[in-house]
Amino acid sequence: MPPLPQIVLPTVEKIYQSYVLNNGDWRRDHLGASTIGTECERALWYNFRWCSNPNFDGRVLRLFDTGNNQEARLLNDLRNIGCTVYDREPETGKQISYSEFGGHLGGSLDAIAQGFEESKVWHVVECKTVNTKGFKQLQTKGVAVAKYDHYCQVQLYMLWAKLDRAYYLCVCKETDEIYGERIHFDKVFADTLVDKANRIIFANEPLDKCEGFLCKFCNHKSICFGGGWAEVNCRTCAFSDVVIDGKWNCCKYNKDIPGITQRNGCPSHAYIPALVNLEQVDADPVNWTISYADGLVNGNGHVASKDMKGRVMRE
């Protein structure tokens, strides 16, 4: 007899749905330090340009929340053993945050703490959770190899906080065991991460992609390999520019684009040609349109970007 399908009871489904409803906007205004270790710069460019809605389901969002709860618990564990822990700015009560390029690159620290048994100097503190397999890899290989993205994240935090050490704490989700590692600051490496962010933020079109096993799990695979369409917003429009001071500029209307406006775009939106799987034949800077080989004209009174999915099928 084949296995019966698993049924999710209505109450459980309602709990999951509540996480979806309360999740808020999935788009971050900046490129996050927590993602800068991602190998594929094209994927990071897609993230920064809001090309794909991740559409996380309620179970996954609840899992993220579990990780956030562990962060507070770990910081409280440090306080209980006598460490001095700051997870907020003393003057404002806000989370400790840093940024580069006027805010286009940024991140928020879990905490800064002092009084560890290994050393009394101040440390950046980063708290994570992993499954059993990931925990064993941390134990045998260390953060820099087993969790390269976490390593990159704390290197940027040490650069911004002007500290030479980080204390990395990670909880195994299945056993509640804690892994700890002190990480030394590597300024040369941290500077390469800032340079990497610079390439991504100010690129006008997608960067080179990394074709490999992880591509099948990428949120942007349908766009990257054809068959999918990017979201319509100001960041996927050919007529918007990233400005060094943390802003975005609309070339057509010659004005700054506020963050709330960026999310919806305008009727004149025209896709960045590299996001369209058609041969571009013309770009009209007077009428603000882009033309393709099949006769399609995108933007400003012609075919709206929001209608292109219905008018053109990708190969």
Kindly report the CATH number assigned to the domain that includes residue 58.
3.90.320.10
Among 6, 24, 22, 3, CA closest to 14: 22
Whether pLDDT at 315 is above 50: no
The answer to whether residue 183 scores a pLDDT higher than 80 is: yes
Q: Is the dihedral of CA 123, 128, 133, 134 positive or negative?
A: negative
Q: What is the mean pLDDT of residues 27-46?
A: 96
pLDDT at 270: 95
User: Coil, helix or strand for 40?
Assistant: coil
H-run or E-run covering 260: helix 259-262
As a whole number of angstroms, the distance between CA 95 and CA 127 comes to 15
- Give the CA count within 13 Å in the CB-facing half-sphere of 136: 3
Q: Is 237 left (phi over 0), alpha (psi -120 to 50) or beta?
A: beta
| Contact yes or no for 48/200 (Cβ under 8 A) | yes
User: What pLDDT is recorded for position 225?
Assistant: 86
DSSP string, 81-116: TT-EEE-S-TTT----EEEEGGGTEEEE-SEEEE--
When divided into structural domains, the chain yields a total of 2
Say whether both 61 and 190 belong to one domain.
yes
Residues 125-167: pLDDT tens digits? 999 999 999 999 999 999 999 999 999 999 999 999 999 999 9
**Residues 191 and 280 grouped into a single domain:** no
Asked whether residue 61 falls in the same domain as residue 113, the answer is yes
Give me the domain span that covers residue 99.
10-201
Quote the pLDDT of residue 210.
86
Q: What per-residue confidence (pLDDT) applies to 132? A: 96
Q: Which two tokens stand for residue 129?
A: 């959770």
Answer for the pair 166, 208: CB distance below 8 angstroms, yes or no. no
**In the predicted structure, residue 271 carries a pLDDT above the cut 90:** yes
